[in-house]
């Protein structure tokens, strides 16, 4: 059983007040929702202890400026289960595999996602990422066929096609920001896999709207986000205008496709054709919410995973050479295809190891709807649990040489040391529905680009993690491209 350490926040700290304010908002909303159990809740586990107050006071502002480093340092210092006390609410930072298993799998039905994305944002609606039961389970069943293996292979061809078009644009010696390039590429991929033939006409317009919406999202889900939403700021007006623009495109496409009645083999066609045990398919509103969810959940994550991979390959030339050897050997100078996926074991290991060190979704949050039991300990309703995947994936007790980039660790055994020690895609009923899509995409894109190009990251560049909705490189990955010839040393 994990040792539990309690961390109590100070009353007069500005940042602490912000957090408390958010918790109060959340609690206010929770009180209006009947889902929370009214049953008497058990006290917090007795083994809780408090670290020095002064230590917390000085470190607390880092929760806002460097949340990834903040959570990681708490885990390093206080262990696998740390208790943070905010006013009346308890928050536990957990990195104990048995507790995580109970949190995500065994007790999954007794918890909701935390924080909840405010409906006022008008973005995801009742989409898969944010909906709760029973809506979530129905939508998940409807959407599952769109992500079956056969479909993924078809999407894989589109992924390679998009990567080849990007490679044709890249100029050796030219400066690029690889983070921005990977974002551009994965957005094009999601547009084409989603809309098939129609994507060419609309992808620039969709990209334009998303470029306004996505940066705002990061600040709107922050504690002061609601306040910002209600202010007559130009940025907020632009956000809602872009959202309306995107909605118009999506509803128009949905209407056209319904009228055509044909499944063109793209994601939208699959979602339109989805039926639930003889019942009607999705309404226009449900379709719109799911398409929007997939746009947002399905491109920046993979883009960040790839950006970190390029960065790590530049820092480890021996690993980059081994990757290139595999690409030359398997592909023999031709572009990759989905059928090559099983033969690109080292490429897969490189991506897997990059996502261990820099998990694109770096944090999972849940809140108890009723009393729950994790790792044999009881926690009352309303307790909030955070798993910092960045910290979990670097726990020395779970991974030998945890801080090092060693793709080889996945070659001897593809399985993590514990099923709940490697969770870039989460687990349980909320496991990422796009996991297979993402693996295919990351491996195909890396193979298609790395067989032709190397990236030399600017020597003076500060490439460090920034924990927003996803884990992105704070200042991008500025680099210069070098064209490689097969077998170059
Ligand atoms: C490397 C890329 C990706 C990573 C690391 C990733 C990670 C995750 C994680 C950790 C979750 C679970 C969140 C939680 O439990 O709170 C999740 C959920 C989800 N992801 Fe992904 N994802 C990736 C790519 C994709 C792609 C490509 C798509 C769609 C095409 C997608 C669609 C979704 C959706 C719809 C959910 C919600 C699933 C549900 O709650 O039932 N993701 N993702």
Residue 132, burial from CB neighbour count under 10 angstroms (0-12, 13-18, 19+): middle
Distance 423 CA to ligand 1 centre (A): 11
d(CA 448, CA 337): 9
What's the DSSP call for residue 389?
Answer: H
d(CA 336, CA 330): 9
Distance 401 CA to ligand 1 centre (A): 28
The verdict on the CB of residue 433 being under 6 Å from ligand 1 is: yes
Kindly report whether the peptide bond that precedes residue 115 is cis, defined as omega within 30 degrees of 0: yes
The verdict on the CB of residue 305 being under 6 Å from ligand 1 is: yes
Nearest to 135 by CA among 294, 332, 285, 10: 285
Best mutation site among 141, 434, 436, 467 for ligand 1, i.e. most ligand atoms within 8 A of its Cβ? 434
The verdict on the CB of residue 426 being under 6 Å from ligand 1 is: yes
Going by CA atoms, what residue is nearest to atom 2 of ligand 1? 302
Nearest to 364 by CA among 79, 114, 95, 112: 114
Residues across the chain: 489
The verdict on the CB of residue 113 being under 6 Å from ligand 1 is: yes
CB distance 19 to 86 below 8 Å? yes
The verdict on the CB of residue 467 being under 6 Å from ligand 1 is: no
359 CA closest ligand 1 atom index = 5
Best mutation site among 290, 354, 432 for ligand 1, i.e. most ligand atoms within 8 A of its Cβ? 432
The verdict on the CB of residue 186 being under 6 Å from ligand 1 is: no
The verdict on the CB of residue 390 being under 6 Å from ligand 1 is: no
Whole-model pTM: value is 0.89
- Only one residue has tokens 């040792």, namely 3
Token code pair at residue 385: 């649990």
Domains in the chain: ranges and CATH: 4-124+362-392 (3.30.43.20), 139-361+394-483 (1.10.630.10)
Over the stretch 22-37, which tens digit does the pLDDT of each residue have?
Answer: 332 233 333 334 344 4
- Show pLDDT as tens, one digit a residue, over the chain (489 residues): 444 444 443 333 233 333 332 332 233 333 334 344 433 344 555 444 345 566 666 777 777 788 899 999 999 989 999 988 766 778 999 999 999 999 999 999 999 999 877 777 888 888 999 898 998 999 999 889 889 988 999 999 999 999 999 999 999 999 999 999 999 999 999 999 988 866 777 888 888 998 888 888 877 766 667 788 788 889 899 999 999 999 999 999 899 889 887 777 888 988 898 887 766 789 999 999 999 999 889 999 999 999 999 999 999 999 999 999 999 999 999 999 999 999 999 999 999 999 999 999 999 999 999 999 999 999 999 999 999 999 999 999 999 999 999 999 999 877 778 999 999 999 999 999 999 999 999 999 999 999 999 999 999 999 999 998 899 999 999 999 999 864 444
Residue 253 to residues 228, 265, 384, Cα–Cα distance (Å): 32, 15, 40
Over the stretch 114-157, which tens digit does the pLDDT of each residue have?
Answer: 987 777 788 888 899 989 899 899 999 988 988 998 899 999 99
d(CA 301, CA 363): 13
Going by CA atoms, what residue is nearest to atom 7 of ligand 1? 425
Distance 363 CA to ligand 1 centre (A): 12
Going by CA atoms, what residue is nearest to atom 26 of ligand 1? 298
Phi first, then psi, for residue 479 (nearest 5°) are: -150, 170
Going by CA atoms, what residue is nearest to atom 39 of ligand 1? 430
The verdict on the CB of residue 93 being under 6 Å from ligand 1 is: no
Helix H segments across 231-283?
234-260, 267-273
Distance 438 CA to ligand 1 centre (A): 9
The verdict on the CB of residue 100 being under 6 Å from ligand 1 is: no
186 CA closest ligand 1 atom index = 27
Going by CA atoms, what residue is nearest to atom 40 of ligand 1? 430
The verdict on the CB of residue 194 being under 6 Å from ligand 1 is: no
The verdict on the CB of residue 127 being under 6 Å from ligand 1 is: no
366 CA closest ligand 1 atom index = 16
| Three-state DSSP class for residue 276 | strand
């Amino acid at each position: 059983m994990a040792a539990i350490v309690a961390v109590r926040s100070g009353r007069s700290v500005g940042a602490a007040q912000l957090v408390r304010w958010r918790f109060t908002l959340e609690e206010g909303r929770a009180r209006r929702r009947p889902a929370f159990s009214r049953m008497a809740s058990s006290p917090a586990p007795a083994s809780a202890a408090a670290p020095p107050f002064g230590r917390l006071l000085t470190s607390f502002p880092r929760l806002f400026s460097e949340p990834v480093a903040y959570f990681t340092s708490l885990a390093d210092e206080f262990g696998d289960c740390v208790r943070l006390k905010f006013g009346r609410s308890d928050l536990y930072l957990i990195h104990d595999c048995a507790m995580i298993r109970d949190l995500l799998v065994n007790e999954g039905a007794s918890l909701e996602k935390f924080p909840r994305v405010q409906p006022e944002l008008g973005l995801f609606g009742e989409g898969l990422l944010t909906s709760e039961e029973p809506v979530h389970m129905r939508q998940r069943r409807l959407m599952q066929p769109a992500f079956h293996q056969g479909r993924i292979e078809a999407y894989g061809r589109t992924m390679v096609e998009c990567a080849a078009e990007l490679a044709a644009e890249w100029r050796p010696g030219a400066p690029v920001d690889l983070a921005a390039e990977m974002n551009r590429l994965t957005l094009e991929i999601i547009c084409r896999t989603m809309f098939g033939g129609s994507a060419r006409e609309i992808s620039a317009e969709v990209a334009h709207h998303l470029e306004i919406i996505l940066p705002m999202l990061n600040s709107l889900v922050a504690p002061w986000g609601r306040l910002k939403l209600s202010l007559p700021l130009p940025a907020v007006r632009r956000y809602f205008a872009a959202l309306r623009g995107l909605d118009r495109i999506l509803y128009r496409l949905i209407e056209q496709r319904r009228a055509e009645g044909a499944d063109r083999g793209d994601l939208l066609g699959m979602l339109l054709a989805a039926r639930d045990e003889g019942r009607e398919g999705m309404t226009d509103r449900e379709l719109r919410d799911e398409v929007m969810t997939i746009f947002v959940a399905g491109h920046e994550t993979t883009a960040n995973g790839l950006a970190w991979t390029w960065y790590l390959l530049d820092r480890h030339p021996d690993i980059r050479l081994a990757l290139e050897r595999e690409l030359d050997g398997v592909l023999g100078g031709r572009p990759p295809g989905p059928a090559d996926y099983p033969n690109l074991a080292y490429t897969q290991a490189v991506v897997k190891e990059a996502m261990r060190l820099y998990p694109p979704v770096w944090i999972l949050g849940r809140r108890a709807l009723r009393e729950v039991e994790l790792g044999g300990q009881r926690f009352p309703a309303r307790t909030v649990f955070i798993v910092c995947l960045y910290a979990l994936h670097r726990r020395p007790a779970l991974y030998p040489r945890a801080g090092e980039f060693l793709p080889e660790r996945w070659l001897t055994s593809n399985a993590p040391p514990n099923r709940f020690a490697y969770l870039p895609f989460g687990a349980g009923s909320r496991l990422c529905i796009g996991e297979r899509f993402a693996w295919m995409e990351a491996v195909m894109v890396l193979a298609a680009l790395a067989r032709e190009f190397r990236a030399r990251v600017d020597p003076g560049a500060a490439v460090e993690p920034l924990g927003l909705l996803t884990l992105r490189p704070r200042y991008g990955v500025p680099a210069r491209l070098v064209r490689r010839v097969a077998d170059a040393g």
